[in-house]
Structure 1
C-alpha cells in the first residue's frame, strides 16, 4: 500500500515535510512502519497550490522511487506552499507509469488514495460505466484510485464533497455484492479544492489503513514551548498523514474508523462516514 500526507496552513517549503522530519515521507518510501509493506517505490507525486491565484494546482509526478529522485529534492527545496498533497506509491497491480501516480487533478481539485478496490479487474467495467460520460475522457490512467475520483466527481464532489464520496463508496460496495466480492473497499483519501482539505478513513471490513491528524498547534506550543517550528506556523496549521512523521509525544491523533475530517481556515469538522446507496 501507499503512504501520503496533506498539509494546510502557513506556507512552508515542501522539504520541511518531505525530507526533514525523522520519519519523513521520503524515509517512509524506504522504511514505512504502519503500511502493508515497508517499501513504496512505484512512483511518487506532489500537488500544490500557489498564492498567485493560478486556476489549477501544479503537479509533479515521477515513476521512479522517491528516495532517489534529485529533481524532487531540488523542487522541494525551492517550492513554498500553504496547501499541498504528497504521495509515494506501492502498486496494487496496475502499471508503474506517470498517469497512475497520485495526486490526480481535475480543475481546482486534487485527490489521492491509499488502499484498493478488491478484485478491481472484475469490477472495473461496471464502475467505469457509471462515470459521467462528459468526465470519462479525462481519465488518463488505469488505477482504481483515479476511477474512484471520477466516480466521486460524477456524484457531485464539487458541490457536496462528503455526500459524493459516500455515494462513490456505496456504488463500489453494491457492485462488489453483485459480483460476490467481500469487503471491496479499503481507503484513506485526501482531497482538496485549494481552500478546504478533506480526509477520509473507511473500509468495508471496518479495519482501515492507518491515518493521523496533527494535534492543534496551540496545544503543541503549550506542550513544547521551546520548539521553534511550532512558533512559526499559524494556529490553523494541520497535517494529515498515513503515519506519523516523528516521535513527538502527543503530536499525532488517530483519525477514527469510518469518519472524515474537514480542515479549512478558522474551523475543523469531524464527522461520521457512511456509504450511501446509489
Structure 2
C-alpha cells in the first residue's frame, strides 16, 4: 500500500476509529488525509476560522491531486472528504480515541495544547500523541494526568507519501500505548514504524539535520555554490534531492528549530544552527512554504 492508504476502510486497531488532529498546516493536513483515506473518522482543529479554511483547502487540493495522478479514485476522494470534519474548538475532541498534535515546533505551545487535551478528551484509554520533530516527549507527557498514554508519532513530509513513522515513547509511556500506536500505524495506515528513544532528533533527524547544517555551512563559507552542493549529492550519492533543496522543503524554520533543540540537549557545536540559516529565518525566507529559501518558488 502506498502512503495514501488504501481507502477501503481498514480494520481499526484496538478500537481506534475516531482521530483528532490539532493543526492543519502542511503536516497536520497530511496526517489528517492519511487517516481519512484509511477509513478513520477525522476531526481537524485550527485556532481561527481563516486558518481552518486554509487547511480545508489544502486537504481538498491534495486529495484532488491524488485523483489526477491516479493514486486515488474520485469515489475514494469523496469518501475521505466525508470522513473529515473541522472545528476551532478543542472541546469537540471529547470523543476521540487518538489525538495527534501537529502545530509549530514550540514547546510552550505544545505543552499548553496537551494540558487542554487532557481536560477535554474524555475517553479513559485515549492516546495523546505529538508529531514533534525534536521536543522531549516527557515534557509533554507530564503536562497531562495520563503520562502513560502520551508518545511521539512522528510522520515525515509529505505524510501522504512518506512511508516512515517514528514512534517515540517517553519514560512514562506504557508499552501498551506504544503497541496500540504501532498497530494503528502499520495495520491501518499502512506505514512502516520504527521506535526511537526520547532524545532530541530521534533517529532520522538525529542523522539528517547535522548533514543539512553542514551543507548550509559549506554554502555560507563559499566553498561551493548552491547548485553544485545539491548536484553533488544528487549525482554523487544518488540522493533524490540535494541538502539545500531538502532544507527548503522541510522549512528552514523547522530545520533551525530542530537544530537548536538538538544543540541545547547535547551541546554539540555541529548541531548549532549556522548564522546564515538564522538570518534567513529572521527574514521570513523559510523555503517552499514562504516562496523563498535557498531557491525561489514563484
Report the TM-score, using the length of structure 2 for normalisation: 0.29
Based on CA coordinates, which of the two structures has the bigger radius of gyration? 2
Q: When the two structures are superposed, what TM-score results if normalisation uses the length of structure 1?
A: 0.30
Bigger strand share: 1
Instruction: Indicate the structure whose relative CO is greater, using CA pairs within 8 Å and at least 6 residues apart.
Output: 1
Structure number having the greater helix percentage: 2
